[in-house]
Amino acid sequence: MKLPLYFDYQATTPLDPRVLEAMLPYFTEEFGNAASRSHPFGWRAEEAVEHARAQIASLIGANPKEIVFTSGATESINLAIKGVADMYGEKGRHIVTSLIEHKAVLDTCKHLEKQGFEVTYLEPTTTGRVTAEAVEKALRPDTILVSVMWANNEVGTLNPIREIGALCHARGVLFLTDATQAVGKIPVDVEADHVDLLCLSGHKLYGPKGVGALYVRRKNPRVRLTAQMDGGGHERGMRSGTLNVPGIVGLGRACEIAREEREQDYRHTSALRDHFERRVLAEVGHVKLNGDPEQRLPNNSNLSFAFVEGESLIMGIKDLAVSSGSACTSASLEPSHVLRAMGVGEDMAHSSIRFGFGRFTTREQVDFAVDQLAAAVKRLRELSPLYEMAQEGIDLSTVKWQSAH
Amino acid sequence: MAYSDKVIDHYNNPRNVGSLDKAKPTVGTGVVGAPECGDVMKLQIQVEGDRIVDAKFKTFGCGSAIASSSLATEWIKGRTIDEALGIRNTQIVEELSLPPVKIHCSVLAEDAIKAAIADYKAKQAEPVSAPEASKS
């Protein structure tokens, strides 16, 4: 087994070799600019882009004309939220979103607040779900946009998108969903799910980095966006800039594979994830699952290991590439805003690790991971004063801690 | 996080892990930090005369917190109480090459030494019986 092993599929995925194969010609012989209308180099590039557009549209139940290419989900989110705010700001200045969104959504909303927009940040349930009832309560006559992510990137919880979408459509409010983690893993159908704007990213579904897409509904209702970048008026005026043809070809192929193999990927990753959790829960005590045990992505497992701090645990499982909700692994020293919003105690947030499973994960890798994880937790608990206190029967919540910060 | 070899060495082979009998009048216990902050250090000293003859620690925290407390026990063992009180967090930062975001771990280690000594001194001043809750 080649070490380290990759268990961070939510952060990024390896490129599927079939995707790479599709992309390669577009770096070399097929180098044309898709906007060149005067010669075959341009025509062939445009043809490749349109083929990719159709592949993406097909995965999410959209019309190809509703797909706008971007540099990734962050740009798609910025374009969607700022584009709607600029276009519909006269109609209303209220936006509804949730506390568990990705920073790309939260920081874009913060930016708009400085420009006089009002934003309601919905609290999730303790399992990390944003309910349609919560959205409904937050709607106001001047609400122009609801933005709720499809699947959370930390805990993997799925939101009731269809319900929220139906509610927004009934109330005449535009509905944006950041589906970066969901597309390719679970069924996504912008029609049935009443989605008006949807963001996705190439590198989360075995495609290349630096390319993503924004779905913009054209009918019932027709969504209009103010472009956020001035230039040649590419992408029906919504996103100027020469198209990243090899990236787009890769994204298209990745979406096609996802459409064909989604159910197989689902079975594969959920079986590995369930095997992993069964073993961890049986072999390592005092483990808590963060997120919703039912409504979640098939490939995500976010666990808190009581009495052990996340960063030191990551050091202990040095052959496993994972990420932590602990403050100590981030530059900001802030523990995960998602776990905090869910009401997970800061001590358990510091002890959380996110494991991700993917198309290329094997059962052998998972078993290796559990073995190394169990050994590291055991060792760190022997080192932990909190574990010792708990063993002595002390209730940690009643202890008066001396804290410098 | 790219740690120095010394931090990794202390993390992999922590020195003086364990516990001393906190009820003993010659043992001083310091517990500093809080679980919510992601670090809790327990540092204990055993004193004979004015010399620290043994030191033990247990730490809940990141790699640099574990290394800082492990190093602290190494440094105070065999020293007098006054010498131990002279240890500064900046020396720990230097020895372990801690990055700026991890300086608080060294501060906590210095606090833990001071708390253990304060606990020992309190016991000496009032030798009748150890207080029930010796956690703070």
- SS3 state at B108: helix
The two structure tokens encoding residue A358: 């993917």
Contact (CB<8Å) A315/B104: no
pLDDT at A281: 96
Domain A17-258 sits in CATH at 3.40.640.10
Site of tokens 């319900």: A163
Q: Is A95 within 8 Å of A145 (Cβ atoms)? A: yes
pLDDT at A54: 98
Q: Which residues of chain A have pLDDT under 70?
A: 325-333, 403-405
Return the residue of B nearest to A332 by Cα.
B101
Looking at B50-108, which runs of residues are DSSP E strands?
51-60
On chain B, the residues whose CB falls within 8 A of the CB of A401 are 31, 33-36, 40
pLDDT at A330: 56
The pLDDT tens digits for B75-121 are 999 999 999 999 999 999 999 999 998 999 999 999 999 999 999 99
Closest-CA distance, B131 to chain A, in angstroms, reads: 15
Backbone angles phi, psi at A98, to 5 degrees: -130, 160
**Integer Cα distance of A297 and A236 in angstroms:** 34
Residue A125's closest CA among A288, A292, A304, A299? Answer: A292
Where does CATH 3.40.640.10 sit in chain A?
A: 17-258
Contact (CB<8Å) B1/A327: no
Helical segments of A61-128, H only: 73-88, 103-114
On chain B, the residues whose CB falls within 8 A of the CB of A400 are 135-136
Mean pLDDT of chain B: 92
For A326, the closest of B3, B17, B38 (CB atoms) is B38
Contact A317/B at CB under 8 A? no
For B60, the closest of A307, A315, A335 (CB atoms) is A307
Closest-CA distance, A382 to chain B, in angstroms, reads: 8
As a whole number of Å, the end-to-end CA separation of chain A is 43
Return the residue of A nearest to B100 by Cα.
A331
pLDDT at B59: 97
Instruction: Let me know if B62 is a catalytic residue.
Output: no
Q: Give me the interface pTM, i.e. the ipTM.
A: 0.89
The pLDDT tens digits for A206-249 are 999 999 999 999 999 999 999 999 999 999 999 999 999 999 99
Q: Is B16 within 8 Å of B56 (Cβ atoms)? A: yes
**Confidence band, pLDDT 50/70/90 cuts, at residue B136:** very low
Side chain identity at residue A343, one-letter code: G
Where does CATH 3.90.1150.10 sit in chain A?
A: 5-9+262-391
Total residue length of chain B: 136
Q: Is A254 within 8 Å of A104 (Cβ atoms)? A: no
Looking at A36-111, which runs of residues are DSSP E strands?
67-70, 94-98
pLDDT at A84: 98
Closest-CA distance, B84 to chain A, in angstroms, reads: 20
Domain A5-9+262-391 sits in CATH at 3.90.1150.10
Q: Is B66 within 8 Å of B10 (Cβ atoms)? A: yes
Tell me, rounded to whole angstroms, the distance of Cα A222 from its chain centroid.
26
The two structure tokens encoding residue A345: 């105690």
- A182 Cβ contact partners less than 8 Å away, ≥ 6 residues apart: A150, A151, A158, A188, A297
Total residue length of chain A: 405
Backbone angles phi, psi at A178, to 5 degrees: -85, 105
Q: A262-273 burial string, b = 16+ CB within 10 Å, else e?
A: beebbebbbebb
Side chain identity at residue A402, one-letter code: Q
**Confidence band, pLDDT 50/70/90 cuts, at residue B126:** confident
pLDDT at A347: 84
**Integer Cα distance of A327 and A91 in angstroms:** 40
Instruction: Let me know if B37 is a catalytic residue.
Output: yes
The two structure tokens encoding residue A65: 């004309």
**Cβ neighbours, 10 Å, residue B133:** 9
Contact (CB<8Å) A312/B135: no
For A311, the closest of B14, B32, B63 (CB atoms) is B63
Select which of B65, B98, B105, B116 is catalytic. B105
pLDDT at A402: 75
